[in-house]
Amino acid sequence: MNAGVTSTRTPVLAVSTVIFTLRPDAAGEMRLALPLVRRIRAPHQGKWALPGAPLKANEDLQASAASSLLSTTGLEPRYLEQLYAFGQVDRSPDRVVSIVYWALIGSDETASAIESENVQWFFADEVPELAFDHNVIIEYALWRLRSKIEYSRVALGFLGETFTLAQLREVYEVVLGKRLDPGNFRRMVESASIVEPTGEYLEGTRHRPPQLYRYNASKDLTDPDPLTLGTTSTRPNARDLGAAS
Amino acid sequence: MNAGVTSTRTPVLAVSTVIFTLRPDAAGEMRLALPLVRRIRAPHQGKWALPGAPLKANEDLQASAASSLLSTTGLEPRYLEQLYAFGQVDRSPDRVVSIVYWALIGSDETASAIESENVQWFFADEVPELAFDHNVIIEYALWRLRSKIEYSRVALGFLGETFTLAQLREVYEVVLGKRLDPGNFRRMVESASIVEPTGEYLEGTRHRPPQLYRYNASKDLTDPDPLTLGTTSTRPNARDLGAAS
DNA sequence: GTCGTAAAAGTCAGACTGACTATAAGTGAA
DNA sequence: TTCACTTATAGTCAGTCTGACTTTTACGAC
């Protein structure tokens, strides 16, 4: 046995990404899915893991997340945000601190995805046992997605340039795991002016053609990094507590 | 000149902490304050900076934040949570990725604080020009504190074991920078059952003695780490969007 | 034309919020 | 002892938001 691998080595930095999309299952139901890659070296060789790579010396963190994601899965996310830095001493035989990003991509943009024996899509509720603490990481990313969809516009990260309200609602329904009332959803979306109508209508439906929408401020969707703090507005739904005056 | 220091060295990991407390200014007004330490070596020698230290090989991230905070400032925070990992290539002449924590401590617990020529308290709105990107980091920590106080119980991190509703309200007022209606504040706090009355009353006031409260679930206050995900409840104020059934 | 379907608009009662008023319970001063 | 003062505590009320529900509209298929 190789006895020397202790956890007291100088910490190494890696950047990984949890990237979600929506895909239909066998029954045609839309479900949350994410790509995993098979580890090709020890530790945990052969197990599935999040896409990622060691941090390069001349690369910013977010750029590192994007580039390692692109090179291992072929995906370029529409939304990308830092999730958390995982650094428990015992999370790997080596001392690895993983700075994890989470990302969203539209179903229509996953066509370019690499799919092979070593890169595959999994439904979020059918993730196998992964390498390291990656199962915990995915759980946390899911929690963050579900929380954030309620007060921000991240849902748009799943959709293309234009979309119908029914499509947008479906995103919410899949992520939150419950049905939403179409009327109330429309009211919410319109009052929050998250999106605006394009004036065009979707054709080819079996019924009245739904209006197409686009989002107003695509800026708001990307890069909520503290690095852009000055330009970030406060959350739309933030409430006051017993405010006076 | 030393010409060789490029930013392409292998990344180094540091852990720093923004720790807030409430202290009275000269006029007796409570204000947000935080301790800074003077850098004793290059780069940015002599400038003020956040307390921190390189990550030790055998220390978890949060433990590293706590221990470096204790050794440089003498403070042991009541609330400690990861803030963000800062890793821009150009944020330091060396390549340093800083995993930053943010913390709260009660005014009554800052007595043990080291104060010297090289460790001093600053009001949050009077922070001088700091080393590295630490000004940006503090801005972000402030934003996070103000956001989080609205939907969580972090405010309790500023207070001792027991407190009056007026004291709790003052924390909110200072952090949010606006006055709150006492009656509405009481209603909010009671309906959210954030705290419970102890049955005791504060003495020595010039008026009717206010009841003392303590918090219900001190568990909820500490460690919102994803590492404890299973036990974390969802946010109390999280709202649904046009939910049906 | 009629039917079926989903879009889009409207209704309504209950909960919540912010502003405000009223009462109660102490201390210090007269 | 009594009064004045301050703050705790309780209550009121109108406006807004929310979830459930109903109605109307506009299209394709037949």
Q: Is B105 exposed, middle or buried (0-12, 13-18, 19+ CB in 10 A)?
A: buried
Examine the pLDDT at A245 and tell me if it is beyond 70.
Answer: no
Residues of chain A with Cβ-Cβ distance to B82 below 8 Å are: 84-85
Percent of chain A with pLDDT over 90: 63
Rounded Cα distance between B82 and B223, Å, is 9
Expressed in angstroms, the distance from the first to the final Cα of chain B is: 71
User: Beta strand pairing status for A79-86 and B79-86?
Assistant: unpaired
Q: Which of residues 35-64 of B touch strand D (CB under 7 A)?
A: none
Contact B58 A242 (CB under 8 A): no
| Per-residue confidence (pLDDT) for residue B227, from 0 to 100 | 66
Residue B119 to residues B43, B99, B142: CA-CA distances in angstroms? 18, 21, 20
Compute the nearest-CA separation of B44 from chain A (Å): 21
- Tens of pLDDT, residues A23-52: 999 888 899 999 999 999 989 999 999 999
pLDDT per residue rounded down to tens, chain B (245 residues)? 444 444 457 899 999 999 999 999 988 889 999 999 999 998 999 999 999 999 999 999 999 999 999 999 999 999 999 999 999 999 999 999 999 999 999 988 888 788 889 999 999 999 999 999 999 999 999 999 998 898 888 999 999 889 999 999 999 999 999 999 999 999 999 888 778 888 888 887 777 788 899 886 643 433 346 766 544 433 333 333 444 43
C1' nearest to CA of A179: which nucleotide?
A: D19
What stretch of H or E contains B164? strand B163-164
List chain A domain ranges. 12-149, 152-231
Rounded Cα distance between B87 and A61, Å, is 6
Decide: helix, strand or coil at residue B111.
Answer: coil
Find residue B213's DSSP bridge partners.
B163, B197
Residues of chain B with Cβ-Cβ distance to A7 below 8 Å are: 57-58
Q: Which conformational region is residue B239 in: left (phi greater than 0), alpha (psi within -120 to 50 degrees), or beta?
A: beta
**What is the third-level CATH fold of B12-149?**
Nucleoside Triphosphate Pyrophosphohydrolase (3.90.79)
- Tens of pLDDT, residues A87-122: 999 999 999 999 999 999 998 888 878 888 999 999
**What is the third-level CATH fold of B152-231?**
Arc Repressor Mutant, subunit A (1.10.10)
